[in-house]
Amino acid sequence: MTTVQATPSLGPTRLLLRRVLGNATALAALATLLLFAGIALAAPWLAPFDPYQVYPERSLMPPGREHLMGTDLLGRDIFSRVLYGARVSLLIGFVSVGISAAVGVVLGLLAGYYGGLLDNLVMRLIDTLMAFPGILLALTIVALLGPGLVNVMIAVGIGGIANYARLVRASVLSIKEEVYVEAARSVGVRDRRIIFRHVLPNALPPVLVLASMSYGWALLSAAGLSFLGLGATPPLAEWGAMLSDGRSLMWDAPWTAIFPGIAILCVVLAANLLGDALRDILDPRLRL
Amino acid sequence: MKAPIKLSGLLCAVALLVVACSGGRAPATSVAADSGRLILSSTKPGSRLDPHLDIQWEVLYVLSAVYDTLVYQDPKGAIVPGLARSWERSEDGLRYRFELREDVTFHDGAVFDAEAVRFNFERIASLASRSLKASSLLVAVERVAVIDPFTVDVHLSRPDGALLFNLSLPYIAMVSPVAAAAWGGNYHLHQAGTGPFMFAEYRPGDRYVLVRNPDYSWAPEFYQHSGPARLETIEWRFLPEPSSRAPALEAGDVDVAFDLVPTNLNRILESPRHTVSTAYLTGQPAYWFFNTQLPPTDDIAVRKAVLYAADMASGSRAITRGVTPPAHGPLARVTPEYAPALEGLYPHDLERARRLLAEAGWVDDNGDGIRERDGVPLVLTVSMVSWGQSIPFSVLLQAQLRAVGIKVELEMMAHAVQIEAGQSGRKNMLFTGSSGYSAADSLKPFFHSDNTDRGFAFSKFNDPALDHMLDQAEVTLDDTQRTALYQQAQLRIMEQALILPIYDYALLIGIDRRVAGLEWRSVGLVPTFYQMHFRSEVEEE
Amino acid sequence: MGRFIIMRLLSSVPVVLGVVTITFALMYLLPGDPAASMLARSGASSEQIAALRVELGLDQPLYLQYFHYLVQVVQGNLGVSLASNKPVTEMLLEVLPKTLALVFAALLIAIPLGTVMGVTAAVRQNTLVDRVLVGISALGVSVPSFWLALLLILLFSVTLRWFPASGQGELRHLVLPTLVLAFGAIGTVARTARTSMIDVLKQDYIRTARASGKSEREVLYRHALPNALVPVVTMIGLQFGWLISGSFIVETVFSRQGLGSMLINAILDKDLPLVQGAVLATAILYVTLNLLVDLTYGAIDPRIRYE
């Protein structure tokens, strides 16, 4: 892993923004994400129907003028549910990435900065977590906590910690060797001040890249858990859960599964592309 | 996903079935022992499958072809001779004497006799709690005595009006004492019965293969032919994903597909090569228990209001495409003891629901759309399970009750968790669907006050009157009297609003038109494999 | 070499120990009494629960229980499934080959196909071909596998009837699940191959080779490709992680038996011993595959050494 030098003159945020806006793919990806964020916020005004109101007599109507994406088994409007689903799915992504990043950064900082026994312990923990491939760790945690939206966010969040911790630890290790850190230490500046003033700000840019790249993963994992019946519980409008409902209806009413899937694909693809672009902009050498 | 449990729920249900099947009757003559390999699909790969141990569908479907029972039920539900030629009941109802057939041998060559019967009863008793169904069917049996080589006495601790019914279920299959003793814990891999088909191959998770028993000559008389079965081989393939069964049938991968999903039917119904038949199951329908000890469902006004406000019939039309009839009480309509008087007891009537709630003091004081009483909002906690149609019906209930100011909080529950929740009484409404068998087995375990804490009487309703009806019915040997008692009990249950009935179970079977002879022995949803065959060219017209 | 093997083996000991500790903890972190929840499905009395507590050793101090659990695991005894009453180890061994078959089938498709795509894209960097290939690989990592599976079923099983939507045993049953699983992996492999090939093409020795008048073909395939493949090969271990995890969902959608579908059913059933066993088996399988991959490299490429 490599470090990223603090950018001296131009504020890093503005620089980043300028670069993103100059990259067509990144711009499109960002626009897609903003669009979905807008949908999530405006769902109550955009949705033609109450996503939770059932109309048994309108069960499984194909897409048409009134129901753009058709209706599900209970006659609920799929278009409205997809719109509302943006709220749930985007939120799950943010919260779980937030959990991964927060815990991972703290662990990585402590391990990297203090080293020694603490580092050893943290690394063994990380190694163990890494032994649970993909969604296995999240599955295990859901097995423990039981199904449910909050539990899925926690589970997916914990599932992502290891990557952040490793990344931050590596950054910290090399930042620690920098002259200005050595200097601050030698004049007796307290650890806490060094960490917050020097180490953390420099370790953050790669975290941002990782966060945007793992956002898609988090959303996919959460949707996958819901699909398996371990995530969002009915009647919540969540894309993965909607797909799960649609699964047994594929044969006679494929629209019940097709549209929620397209929504997931759009958001995940946009998040991944934005992540790639951010990595290229911030540090092409970063291999994530 | 949960097809397995769903099926056990469904099939465990005993059943009767009135099949509107395309049954081409076998020519009334006899044994056109044609060859043919019938391929059927059903749900779950079995686990350790032993009729005395397991409750899974394979016992009813697959193994019913491998074993015979002491008595059979004919398609009309009458008890007729099986391995027992005749029987008589003692005056006090405490002893049954069975005269056995003397011409029967097991697939492994062992002779079927009185000792074999005693061995089987004792095997079931010794399995005790490891036996998921068989031992519960024989609770009244005290001991079995061999009188002579082909006569046995079954002694009971109390009269049991359901004994013969229970003995006709494939769970009380007669297994070979030799094979069972020789293989012990691995008997399930080396089964030997006396039935028309022999256990040939079992690839776990993949298929069962049964082959014709060439020596079979003791078929019950209600069949139209005798001698060996007409099919040469029956092959069961597992298709656990419910929505994959209709495509498999349509593609010709299987000849008969059990347990189709109602929302998958369109293409099969349109296909000229297939027919669909429906079997309606006896015993318990799907329903929710109301917990009568946990507020707010301890208030009968709330329970009745829910019954008036919920329109489960509209759910049946949408969710199961009208395949499952709406239920009206604790027994499905096709159960002989069903009480027709229940129908119309709780019509869909939102006004009446609102009035009941208002009279009981439940009023929306703060304008949030949910009623309150003494500051406590009217919230019901309701369980959902992952099998059957529990989820869509729960969501429907939630939406319908919201209209009368009742808030429903849904929680997904695993089977074991739901049982624990039922016993500890921490939910207002619990979904149930694991059906019982006879009326007796569908009512007493679920409503008698003896079973409120440890058993399955999740209504927790302690009512001496109801207990008395159930106790009396159980030991009443006269059919008419017993039926009358069970009907009273059903009325009592619904008058006290102990459950919210949802729908009667129905099983959809897709059948290739070339296949003939699929009917049901009225009990246990046992298909008549013995008489099934492929239509000849001539018959096909 | 021997030292490398020993060090690599030793390094997996704490990981495996950590995994075992986590599965052990599963039982104790769960709310409620494990014995009571195990017996809940049979409606047992409090005496029976107490008896089971003793049988399971739940009345002993925690460290002793942990020790016993370790001993049992080492002996390959993972308890008995609550739902089926079968030994967990037996059930795991039954499904393990099925999951491995799926994972390896996907790997066999994903590695060559992904490599070809990545290398092609790199050689034609910034052309339309490159963009299309990059787009496909981006789709590969972004598409929800459960959704892709449903679409393939709709197309190939329902509409065209080429391949069955579920079942197993024959090769044709393996086609759709393998495609779905491979699609995600192809994306990752292609991205790695592309980046790596682009890097290599910038290297001095490639320039030298070109300057020496060798044909472009020879430069690409004789000089660049072998070096570009190293990162692809080294990521096989990581691929196993993706594939095993992906197989969970794929097995469920296609109703295949396997570790994943067994684990998910066990979670839904709250069949704790089976959950513990399946989690443990999956993690150890992953660690072992990685170990094997690393050891193989160690043998092949002397440059790779422990740490």
Which one-letter DSSP state was computed for residue A197?
I
pLDDT in tens, B1-24: 333 333 333 333 333 333 333 333
Say how far apart CA B419 and CA B417 lie, in whole Å: 5
pLDDT in tens, B365-409: 888 899 999 999 999 999 988 777 889 999 999 999 999 999 999
Say whether residue C138 is in contact with chain A using an 8 A CB cutoff. Answer: yes
Q: Which residue do the tokens 């009971």 mark?
A: B156
- In this prediction, residue A158 has a pLDDT band, given cuts at 50, 70 and 90, of very high
Say whether residue B158 is in contact with chain C using an 8 A CB cutoff. Answer: no
Predicted pLDDT of residue B19: 35
Say whether residue A158 is in contact with chain C using an 8 A CB cutoff. Answer: no
Inter-chain touch A133–C241, beta carbons under 8 Å: yes
Chain B contacts to A (CB-CB under 8 A): 1, 242-243, 246-247, 261, 263-267, 314-315, 317-319, 384, 386, 391-392, 394-396, 398-400, 410-412
Residue B517 φ then ψ, to 5°: 90, 5
Tokens representing C254 are 């296609």
pLDDT in tens, A241-260: 999 888 878 778 889 999 99
Inter-chain touch B239–C257, beta carbons under 8 Å: no
What mean pLDDT is predicted for residues B514-530?
A: 79
Taking 60 as the threshold, does the pLDDT of residue B33 lie above it? Answer: no
Predicted pLDDT of residue B283: 85
pLDDT in tens, B253-288: 889 988 888 888 877 888 889 999 888 888 889 999
DSSP result, A69-124: T-B-TT--BHHHHHHHHHHHHHHHHHHHHHHHHHHHHHHHHHHHHH-HHHHHHHHH
- In this prediction, residue B351 has a pLDDT band, given cuts at 50, 70 and 90, of very high
Predicted pLDDT of residue C143: 92
Share of chain B above pLDDT 70, in %: 88
What mean pLDDT is predicted for residues A110-136?
A: 89
Taking 60 as the threshold, does the pLDDT of residue B539 lie above it? Answer: no
Inter-chain touch C268–A261, beta carbons under 8 Å: no
* Residue of B264, B396, B412 with shortest CB distance to A74: B396
Say whether residue B239 is in contact with chain C using an 8 A CB cutoff. Answer: yes
Tokens representing C22 are 């986590």
Predicted pLDDT of residue C268: 77
Sequence-distant (6+) residues with CB within 8 A of C139 are A265, A269, C187
Say whether residue B411 is in contact with chain C using an 8 A CB cutoff. Answer: no
Contacts of residue A257 in chain C, CB cutoff 8 Å? Answer: 147, 150
What mean pLDDT is predicted for residues B116-126?
A: 94
DSSP result, B361-430: T-B-SSSSSS-EETTEE-EEEEEE-SSTTHHHHHHHHHHHHHTTT-EEEEEE--HHHHHHHHHHT--SEE
Say whether residue C46 is in contact with chain B using an 8 A CB cutoff. Answer: no
| Nearest CA distance, A196 vs chain C (angstrom) | 31
Say how far apart CA A206 and CA B295 lie, in whole Å: 54
Say whether residue C252 is in contact with chain B using an 8 A CB cutoff. Answer: yes
Alpha helices in B403-500, H assignment, sequence order: 415-424, 439-447, 464-475, 479-495
Contacts of residue A147 in chain B, CB cutoff 8 Å? Answer: 412
CB-CB neighbours of A30 under 10 Å: 21
Taking 90 as the threshold, does the pLDDT of residue B205 lie above it? Answer: no
In terms of average pLDDT, the best of A9-13, B200-204, B215-219 is B215-219
Which residue ranges in chain C fall short of pLDDT 50?
41, 43, 305-307
Contact B439, B15 (CB under 8 A): no
Tell me what ipTM this predicted complex has.
Answer: 0.85
Predicted pLDDT of residue A283: 65
Predicted pLDDT of residue B27: 36
pLDDT in tens, B296-342: 999 999 999 999 999 999 999 999 888 889 999 999 998 889 999 99
Predicted pLDDT of residue B538: 45
Contacts of residue C40 in chain B, CB cutoff 8 Å? Answer: 416-417, 419-420, 423
Say whether residue B425 is in contact with chain C using an 8 A CB cutoff. Answer: no
Its pTM stands at 0.83
Say how far apart CA B114 and CA B97 lie, in whole Å: 11
- In this prediction, residue B246 has a pLDDT band, given cuts at 50, 70 and 90, of confident
Predicted pLDDT of residue A2: 40
Predicted pLDDT of residue A62: 93
